Amino acid sequence: MRRVLSVIVVALLAACIGIAPAMAAPGTRLTVVLADPDAGRAFVNVSGVGEVEGYRSSAVIAQGAREPAVFLGLQPGRYSVQVSFDDRPTVWVAPDGRSLPRTTAPPPLVEVGTSPVSVGPVTVPAGAGLTGRLVDSAGAPVQAMNVYATAQDLSQPTRITSGTSGAFGLSGLAETGYTVEADVIGQRYRLVEGPHGLVMSRTGDPFAPGLALGSTTDLGDVIVRDVFADVRATNQFSTEIAWAREGGIVNGYDDGSFRPRAPVNRDAMAAFLYRMAGRPFFDPPAVSPFVDVPPSAAFYREITWLASTGISTGWPDGTFRPLQPVARDAMSAFLFRYVSVAGHWRGTSQSTTAGFQAPSTSPFTDLTTSTPFFREMAWMSYRSVSTGYPDGSFRPSDPVQRDAVAAFLHRSRGF
The predicted model gives 269-280 an average pLDDT of: 95
Are 321 and 390 part of one and the same domain? Answer: yes
Q: Name residue 44's beta-bridge partners.
A: 59, 83
Say whether pLDDT at 2 is over 70: no
Are 210 and 284 part of one and the same domain? Answer: no
- Helix, coil or strand: residue 372: coil
Are 405 and 296 part of one and the same domain? Answer: yes
Q: How confident is the model at residue 26 (pLDDT cuts 50, 70, 90)?
A: low
Q: How many domains does the chain have?
A: 3
Are 34 and 148 part of one and the same domain? Answer: no
Domain boundary among 224, 257, 284: 224
- Helix, coil or strand: residue 294: coil
The predicted model gives 101-128 an average pLDDT of: 90
Answer whether residue 14 is part of any domain. Answer: no
pTM recorded for the entire structure? 0.80
% helix / strand / coil in the chain, to the nearest 5? 20, 30, 50
Are 254 and 352 part of one and the same domain? Answer: yes
% of the chain with per-residue pLDDT over 70:
92
Q: How confident is the model at residue 27 (pLDDT cuts 50, 70, 90)?
A: confident
Are 214 and 76 part of one and the same domain? Answer: no
> pLDDT tens digits, residue range 294-344?
999 999 999 999 999 999 989 999 999 999 999 999 999 999 999 988 877
- Helix, coil or strand: residue 11: helix
The pLDDT, as a whole number, for residue 360 is 94
Are 155 and 302 part of one and the same domain? Answer: no
Answer whether residue 7 is part of any domain. Answer: no
Find the CATH number of the domain harbouring 56: 2.60.40
Are 210 and 308 part of one and the same domain? Answer: no
> pLDDT tens digits, residue range 209-266?
989 888 999 999 999 999 999 999 999 999 999 999 999 999 999 999 999 999 999 9
Answer whether residue 16 is part of any domain. Answer: no
Are 187 and 283 part of one and the same domain? Answer: no
Are 275 and 403 part of one and the same domain? Answer: yes
Domain boundary among 77, 94, 122: 122
Q: How confident is the model at residue 22 (pLDDT cuts 50, 70, 90)?
A: very low
Answer whether residue 273 is part of any domain. Answer: yes
The predicted model gives 194-198 an average pLDDT of: 89
Find the CATH number of the domain harbouring 148: 2.60.40.1120
> pLDDT tens digits, residue range 131-184?
999 999 999 999 998 999 999 988 888 999 987 789 999 998 988 899 999 999
56 secondary structure, DSSP code: E
Are 169 and 38 part of one and the same domain? Answer: no
Contacts of 283 (CB under 8 A, 6+ apart): none
Answer whether residue 360 is part of any domain. Answer: yes
The pLDDT, as a whole number, for residue 10 is 33
Answer whether residue 175 is part of any domain. Answer: yes
Domain boundary among 181, 200, 224: 224
Are 211 and 248 part of one and the same domain? Answer: no
Owning domain of residue 73: 28-122
- DSSP of 162-228: EETTSEEEEEEE-SS-EEEEEEETTEEEEEEEETTEEEEESSSPPP-----TTSEEEEEEEEEPPSB
Answer whether residue 231 is part of any domain. Answer: no
Answer whether residue 23 is part of any domain. Answer: no
